[in-house]
């Protein structure tokens, strides 16, 4: 088994800090629907980094933090100022500012690489990231900033939730939410700067966007989403970092983002919420509910017409036009719920089943009467329309229908409304 070097361990620990803190800030951006802010900041740091290098002619993490954070905060201020003045829509402002600042940064970077001492700067690694160049000082800075972010987030958790989810209510409170917003932008800029060495400018925005997006498919709660996002981000970061350390010429940033993209695809397909699987499952569950109610309604009508307490499965097949296997499957489900008794192809409603089937028939006939009397729908259109809507009528709507129609006794076909 391969033994990890000490430098590899602190690179992985730095990835853990970076993953958790970026997941916190990324989840806030995700829920505030401001994910592009993170993208603007990640691209706007490049001019500041280049200017800091040109001024001090050395690769110093402190001056890079100052320079990169300054241009990132300037870009954010420009976007917010112009948005308040309603010069352009926010999405156009974000996209324009991102492109302009990054373009200026690339020009500076090209100029630096043409200088006699510029080729050795290593600033080009800030574009795609390279974890192997991470120093102990870089790791310490990442840890300090991440701990500061997590500490402030935990201490001000309630205020942050109000600011994120109810900004109008936040405005009525005697609390300096402008300071919260300013601190958020400052720490967002600082975190972007600290993550550049391992992830890179172009792909640092993915650390803010992809993990919260993945968490969206697995957790509903804000806190649960942050935990899932942090875990996913760390696993993908660890994989990308190890890959870039072990395989020559593989940049860390793309490796991490490809890993996150793979998890996103899996979540999109199989996630607990909003995934293709969950939607198909919900659709099937709804169709099963409709079929079960259709069987109960048909049982009630058959018993009503032939004046018997027992219905043959063949008669039910003729009434519902369902296959025998489908009817048998539904009957077994209804029997488990103690709505029917099913034996030897004979079906009998239990007291609970009678109440359930009676309500479905009542809703169907009530809706037919409403469509006939209030919407003047032709008689040959009543049944199909009532079939479509009867499964969606809530008890509140049912009570309202009964009230406005003065508790009718007969439907348009002169059948009893139970």
Name residues whose C-beta falls within 8 Å of residue 74's C-beta, 6 or more positions apart in sequence.
44
* Mean pLDDT comparison of 198-207, 246-255, 298-307, highest-scoring range: 298-307
Confidence of residue 413 (pLDDT cuts 50, 70, 90): confident
pLDDT score recorded for residue 2: 43
Q: Residue 390 in contact with residue 292, Cβ under 8 Å? A: no
In terms of pLDDT, which residue wins out, 323 or 415? 323
Helix 35-56 and helix 61-84: axis angle, to 10°? 140
Burial class (CB in 10 A: 0-12, 13-18, 19+), 210: buried
Q: Cα–Cα distance between 15 and 199 in angstroms, integer?
A: 9
Residue 203 has pLDDT above 90, yes or no: no
Residue 204 has pLDDT above 80, yes or no: no
Residue range 10-207 in CATH 1.20.1530.20:
no
Name residues whose C-beta falls within 8 Å of residue 98's C-beta, 6 or more positions apart in sequence.
36, 39, 40, 43, 44, 75
Q: Answer left, alpha or beta for residue 59, where phi above 0 means left and psi between -120 and 50 means alpha.
A: beta
Q: Residue 412 in contact with residue 382, Cβ under 8 Å? A: yes
Q: Residue 149 in contact with residue 156, Cβ under 8 Å? A: no
- Give per-residue pLDDT as tens, 375-409: 777 776 777 777 777 777 778 887 887 888 888 88
Q: Which CATH number fits domain 284-404: 1.10.10.10, 3.40.1410.10, 2.60.40.730, 1.10.3720.10?
A: 1.10.10.10
Confidence of residue 46 (pLDDT cuts 50, 70, 90): confident
Q: Give the pair of three-digit tokens for residue 380.
A: 């040959």
Q: Is 345 helix (H, G, I), strand (E, B) or coil?
A: coil
The alpha helices in 271-414, defined as continuous H runs, are 276-306, 313-320, 324-336, 351-373, 379-389, 395-404
Residue 348 has pLDDT above 80, yes or no: yes
Percent of the chain with pLDDT over 90: 10
- Give per-residue pLDDT as tens, 274-295: 899 999 998 898 888 888 888 8
- Give per-residue pLDDT as tens, 349-361: 889 988 888 888 8
Name residues whose C-beta falls within 8 Å of residue 209's C-beta, 6 or more positions apart in sequence.
26, 29, 30, 35, 38, 39
In terms of pLDDT, which residue wins out, 111 or 8? 111
Residue 338 has pLDDT above 80, yes or no: yes
The overall average pLDDT reported for the chain is 82
Q: Residue 73 in contact with residue 185, Cβ under 8 Å? A: yes
Percent of the chain with pLDDT over 70: 90
pLDDT score recorded for residue 123: 63
In terms of pLDDT, which residue wins out, 192 or 28? 28
Domain ranges of the chain: 10-207, 284-404
- Give per-residue pLDDT as tens, 305-325: 877 788 888 888 888 888 888
pLDDT score recorded for residue 1: 39
Question: Do 284-404 and 10-207 have the same topology in CATH?
Answer: no
Q: Cα–Cα distance between 56 and 288 in angstroms, integer?
A: 70
- Give per-residue pLDDT as tens, 78-114: 888 888 888 788 888 888 888 899 899 888 888 887 8
């Amino acid at each position: 088994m391969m033994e990890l070097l000490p430098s590899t361990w602190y690179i992985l620990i730095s990835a853990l800090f970076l993953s958790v803190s970026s997941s916190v800030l990324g989840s806030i951006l995700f829920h505030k629907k401001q994910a592009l802010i993170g993208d603007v900041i990640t691209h706007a740091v490049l001019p500041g980094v280049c200017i800091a290098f040109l001024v001090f002619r050395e690769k110093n993490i402190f001056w890079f933090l100052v320079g990169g954070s300054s241009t990132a905060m300037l870009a954010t201020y420009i976007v917010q100022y112009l948005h308040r003045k309603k010069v352009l829509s926010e999405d156009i402002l974000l996209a324009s500012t991102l492109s302009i600042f990054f373009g200026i940064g690339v020009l500076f970077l090209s100029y630096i690489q043409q200088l006699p001492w510029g080729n050795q700067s290593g600033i080009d690694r800030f574009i795609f990231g390279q974890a192997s160049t991470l120093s102990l000082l870089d790791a310490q800075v990442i840890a300090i900033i991440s701990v500061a972010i997590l500490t402030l987030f935990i201490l001000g958790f309630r205020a942050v939730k109000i600011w994120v989810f109810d900004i109008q209510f936040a405005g009525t409170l005697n609390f300096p939410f402008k300071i919260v917003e300013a601190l958020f932008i400052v720490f967002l800029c600082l975190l972007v700067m600290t993550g550049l060495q391992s992830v890179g400018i172009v792909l640092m925005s993915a650390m803010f966007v992809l993990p919260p997006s993945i968490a969206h498919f697995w957790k509903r709660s804000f806190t649960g989403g942050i935990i899932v996002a942090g875990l996913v981000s760390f696993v993908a970061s660890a994989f990308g970092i190890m890959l870039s350390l072990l395989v020559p010429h593989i940049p860390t940033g793309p490796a991490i983002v490809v890993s996150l993209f793979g998890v996103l695809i899996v979540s999109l397909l199989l996630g607990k919420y909003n995934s293709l699987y969950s939607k198909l499952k919900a659709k099937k569950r709804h169709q099963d509910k409709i079929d079960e109610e259709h069987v109960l309604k048909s049982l009630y009508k058959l018993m009503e017409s032939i004046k018997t307490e027992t219905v043959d499965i063949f008669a039910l097949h003729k009434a519902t036009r369902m296959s025998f296997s489908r009817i048998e499957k539904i009957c077994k489900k209804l029997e488990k719920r103690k709505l029917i008794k099913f034996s030897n192809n004979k079906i009998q409603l239990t007291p609970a089943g009678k109440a359930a089937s009676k309500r479905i028939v009542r809703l169907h006939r009530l809706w037919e009467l409403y469509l006939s009397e209030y919407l003047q729908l032709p008689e040959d259109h009543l049944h199909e329309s009532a079939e479509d809507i009867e499964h969606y009528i809530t008890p509140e709507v049912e009570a309202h229908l009964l009230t406005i129609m003065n508790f009718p006794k007969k439907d348009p076909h002169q059948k009893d409304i139970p």
